[in-house]
């Protein structure tokens, strides 16, 4: 059952071949069987999930509901869920039970999904390996000695191992695409403003965007259809009308113009990964696409720009975790300053503290122009690079990450190497365009993701392209050995 796609399961649910309760029990059983090794969930909401499944069955029995009704999914633990622990992977929020529901989880619940639980993540979404979680590292189901990527590593590992049909993720600098690539699943980071950020615990507000993670582009389309759209609670959410992501999936690709940025295929890219990406591009040519080399000249600048802008916003966004109203408060504070400093020193992990300090420094008087303002200028250049390139071609393709999943602990002592992991993903967030990671093959038994980047609000096009590719390839249907059986 765990290998089925949403459309098939929806059909079976409607035909009463299975019930949502059975489906939910199946996944809960798989979580209890496999997640001890993976650590992909922080919270499993068993009884609540079964109640939601019953409610979904009731709707289905009246012949109502839609493709998501009764489908068990998981949420990254930074979406606020009313009454359910929401930690953001941090000790700081080890006791935080939100009094409200995020727009994303609300809309998916409205569509009838069943929430199995909340998935593990890098603390406050800061990380590329999921090793920065207060709740322990997540393991990659393809090789338990390697990382699943981050920060949505729990969601990626859970979907790859068949512990949930789909999951929500968030992507600030690659946090959906890179773990999707490492775990061999499909992930979409929508255009900034396509999905509401209301109820998402903020890391870097101008970059954060929620998106779906699932086995296939088709399943992502079902998820996005429910998630996307204007929300009056988020001033940065776009009023641009959503497309029909599902009915667009089957458009032919003939005449599609693909751009390959030469900067994405330079030094630092693993040769096996490069070959797999080029093979995937050849598949598209067979489907009628044409390929052209393009240039995104400011790619290298995306890392310093990102690591100024994101920490700057984070340093401010994370100020509310002060021990006053919610979250961790130190024992017996002797005065206000002691309460602030100890609560925050105890509650935040090393990487979060590091980024708060970097951001505080970058925004300080006397440094602001040299760091924050300069980074914003680079950001405009990067955006312009994409805008110009996308006048020449329909989509841009390249690798998601320079390598496949690396070993746990191998980069934790080298932050620059860790930050370089994001070289191909960061610029997309700085520009605000949508991008996907699509399984494109295996290098030494580890999955490799192809990145497809498109113009603003071209999610339907990206999903269509990925879906057509998945009609002629089966990389997205593979199951890791550890998750087979049951």
Partner 1 sequence: MNWEVVIGLEIHAQLATKSKLFSGAAVGFGAEPNTQTTLVDLGMPGALPVFNKEALRMAVMFGHAINAEIGMTSVFARKNYFYPDLPKGYQTSQMDHPIVGIGHLDVTLEDGTTTRVGITRAHLEEDAGKSLHEDFQGMTGIDLNRSSTPLLEIVSEPDIRSAKEAVAYVKMIHSIVTYLGICDGNMAEGSMRCDINLSLRPKGQKEYGTRTEIKNVNSFRFIEKAIYTEIERQADILEDGGRIIQETRLYDPELNETRSMRSKEDANDYRYFPCPDLLPIVLTQEYVDQIKSTLPELPNQKATRFQNELNLSEYDASVLSSSRPLADYFEQANSITKDAKLTANWVMGELSKLLNQAQLDINESPVSADAFGTLLQRIKDNTINGKTAKDVLQAMWDGEGSADDIIEAKGLKQVTDTGAIEEMIQAILDANTAQVEQYRSAEADKQKKMIGFFVGQVMKASQGKANPAIVNPILAKMLKG
For partner 1, the binding residue among 164, 200, 433, 462 (CB under 8 A) is 200
Element (H, E) at 210: strand 209-214
Q: How far apart are CA 206 and CA 236, in angstroms?
A: 9
Residues numbered 346-375 forming contacts with partner 1, rule: CB under 8 A: 360, 363-365, 368, 372
User: Per-residue contact track with partner 1, 270 to 309, x per CB under 8 A?
Assistant: ----------------------------------------
Residue 151 catalytic?
yes
CA distances for 422 relative to 307, 359, 414, 481, angstroms: 11, 18, 14, 28
Residue 251 catalytic?
no
CA distances for 56 relative to 19, 22, 48, 113, 157, angstroms: 9, 12, 12, 8, 26
Q: Among residues 227 and 393, whose Cβ is nearest to partner 1?
A: 227
Candidates 76, 118, 189, 215; catalytic one:
76
Q: How far apart are CA 427 and CA 216, in angstroms?
A: 24
22: contact with partner 1 by CB under 8 A: no
Residue 175 catalytic?
yes
CA distances for 155 relative to 39, 65, 183, 450, 467, angstroms: 11, 25, 10, 19, 21
Q: Among residues 332 and 413, whose Cβ is nearest to partner 1?
A: 332
Instruction: Provide, rounded to whole angstroms, the least separation between the CB of residue 80 and partner 1.
Output: 5
Residue 289 Cα to chain centre, angstroms = 28
Query: Pick from 448, 452, 466, 474: which is nearest to 142 by CA?
Result: 448
For partner 1, the binding residue among 265, 326, 419, 442 (CB under 8 A) is 326
334: contact with partner 1 by CB under 8 A: no
Beta strands 166-171 and 72-76: pairing type? parallel
Binding piece for partner 1, criterion CB under 8 A, among 66-74, 194-202, 213-221, 451-459: 194-202
240: contact with partner 1 by CB under 8 A: no
Q: Among residues 63 and 99, whose Cβ is nearest to partner 1?
A: 99
What letters, b where the CB count within 10 A reaches 16 and e where it falls short, cover 99-138? eebbbbbbbbbebbbbbbbbbbbbbbbbbbbbbbbbbebb
User: Per-residue contact track with partner 1, 146 to 185, x per CB under 8 A?
Assistant: ----------------------------------------
Binding piece for partner 1, criterion CB under 8 A, among 35-43, 46-54, 143-151, 228-236: 228-236
Q: Among residues 149 and 199, whose Cβ is nearest to partner 1?
A: 199
Residues numbered 457-476 forming contacts with partner 1, rule: CB under 8 A: none
Instruction: Provide, rounded to whole angstroms, the least separation between the CB of residue 383 and partner 1.
Output: 15
Query: Pick from 242, 237, 228, 226: which is nearest to 432 by CA?
Result: 237
Instruction: Provide, rounded to whole angstroms, the least separation between the CB of residue 209 and partner 1.
Output: 12
For partner 1, the binding residue among 60, 68, 195, 201 (CB under 8 A) is 201
For partner 1, the binding residue among 16, 17, 100, 300 (CB under 8 A) is 100
Number of neighbours of residue 61 by Cβ within 10 angstroms: 11
95: contact with partner 1 by CB under 8 A: no
Q: Among residues 243 and 313, whose Cβ is nearest to partner 1?
A: 313
Candidates 102, 151, 312, 427; catalytic one:
151
382: contact with partner 1 by CB under 8 A: no
Binding piece for partner 1, criterion CB under 8 A, among 76-84, 283-291, 382-390, 399-407: 76-84
Helix pair 374-392, 302-317: axis angle to 10 deg: 120
Q: Among residues 206 and 471, whose Cβ is nearest to partner 1?
A: 206
Q: How far apart are CA 250 and CA 34, in angstroms?
A: 35
Q: Are 200 and 78 in contact (CB under 8 A)?
A: yes
Q: Is omega for the bond preceding 274 within 30 degrees of 0, making it cis?
A: no
**What region, left, alpha or beta, does residue 445 occupy, with left being phi > 0 and alpha being psi -120 to 50 degrees?**
left
313: contact with partner 1 by CB under 8 A: yes
Candidates 175, 196, 238, 458; catalytic one:
175
**What region, left, alpha or beta, does residue 158 occupy, with left being phi > 0 and alpha being psi -120 to 50 degrees?**
alpha
Q: How far apart are CA 362 and CA 135, in angstroms?
A: 30
**Cβ neighbours of residue 247 closer than 8 Å, sequence gap 6 or more:** none
Binding piece for partner 1, criterion CB under 8 A, among 21-29, 79-87, 153-161, 242-250: 79-87
Burial of 26 by CB count in 10 Å (0-12 exposed, 13-18 middle, 19+ buried)? Answer: middle
**Judged by CB under 8 A, how many residues of this single chain contact partner 1?**
45
**Cβ neighbours of residue 55 closer than 8 Å, sequence gap 6 or more:** none
> For the chain, how long is the longest CA-to-CA vector?
70
102: contact with partner 1 by CB under 8 A: yes
For partner 1, the binding residue among 202, 221, 396, 453 (CB under 8 A) is 202
315: contact with partner 1 by CB under 8 A: yes
Q: How far apart are CA 389 and CA 271, in angstroms?
A: 25
For partner 1, the binding residue among 8, 61, 232, 247 (CB under 8 A) is 232
206: contact with partner 1 by CB under 8 A: yes
Q: Among residues 236 and 272, whose Cβ is nearest to partner 1?
A: 236
Contacts with partner 1, residue ranges (CB under 8 A): 78-80, 86, 88, 93, 96, 98-100, 102, 197-202, 204-206, 232-236, 312-313, 315-316, 318-322, 324-326, 336, 340, 360, 363-365, 368, 372
Which positions are annotated as active-site residues? 76, 151, 175
């Amino acid at each position: 059952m765990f290998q089925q796609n949403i459309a098939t399961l929806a059909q079976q649910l409607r035909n009463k071949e299975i019930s949502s309760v059975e489906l939910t029990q199946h996944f809960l059983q798989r979580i209890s069987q496999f997640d001890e090794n993976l650590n992909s969930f922080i919270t499993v909401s068993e009884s609540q999930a079964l109640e939601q499944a019953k409610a979904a069955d009731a709707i289905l029995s009246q012949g109502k509901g839609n493709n998501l009704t009764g489908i068990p999914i998981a949420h990254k633990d930074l979406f606020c869920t009313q009454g359910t622990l929401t930690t953001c992977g941090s000790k700081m929020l080890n006791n935080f039970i939100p009094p409200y529901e995020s727009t994303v989880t609300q809309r998916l619940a409205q569509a009838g999904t069943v929430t199995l639980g909340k998935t593990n993540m890098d603390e406050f979404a800061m990380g590329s390996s999921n090793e920065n979680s207060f709740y322990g590292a997540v393991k990659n189901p393809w090789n338990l000695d390697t990382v699943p990527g981050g920060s949505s590593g729990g969601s990626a590992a859970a979907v790859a191992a068949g512990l949930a049909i789909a999951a929500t993720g968030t992507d600030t600098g690659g946090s959906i695409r890179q773990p999707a690539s490492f775990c061999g699943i499909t992930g979409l980071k929508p255009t900034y403003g396509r999905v509401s950020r209301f109820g998402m615990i903020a890391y870097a507000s101008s970059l954060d965007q929620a998106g779906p993670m699932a086995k296939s582009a088709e399943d992502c389309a079902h998820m996005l259809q429910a998630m996307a759209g204007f929300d009056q609670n988020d001033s940065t959410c776009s009023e641009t009308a959503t497309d029909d992501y599902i009915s667009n999936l089957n458009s032919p690709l003939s005449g599609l113009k693909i751009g390959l940025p030469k900067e994405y295929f330079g030094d630092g890219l693993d040769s096996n990964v490069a070959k797999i990406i080029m093979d995937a591009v050849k598949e598209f040519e067979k489907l009628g696409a044409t390929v052209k080399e393009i240039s995104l000249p400011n790619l290298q600048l995306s890392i310093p720009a990102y690591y100024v802008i994101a920490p700057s916003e984070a340093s401010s966004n994370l100020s509310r975790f002060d021990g006053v109203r919610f979250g961790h408060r130190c024992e017996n504070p002797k005065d206000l300053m002691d309460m602030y400093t100890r609560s925050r020193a105890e509650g935040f992990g090393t990487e979060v503290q590091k980024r708060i300090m970097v951001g505080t420094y970058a925004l300080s008087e006397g440094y602001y122009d040299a760091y924050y303002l300069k980074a914003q200028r680079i950001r405009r250049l990067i955006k312009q690079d994409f805008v110009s390139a996308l006048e020449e071609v329909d989509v841009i393709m390249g690798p998601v990450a320079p390598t496949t999943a690396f070993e746990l602990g191998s980069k934790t002592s080298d932050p620059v190497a860790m930050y370089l992991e994001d070289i191909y993903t960061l610029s997309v967030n700085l520009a605000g365009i949508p991008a996907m990671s699509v399984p494109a093959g295996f290098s030494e038994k580890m999955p490799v993701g192809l990145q497809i980047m498109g113009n603003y609000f071209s999610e339907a096009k990206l999903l269509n392209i990925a879906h057509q590719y998945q009609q002629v390839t089966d990389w997205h249907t593979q199951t890791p050995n550890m998750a087979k059986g049951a």
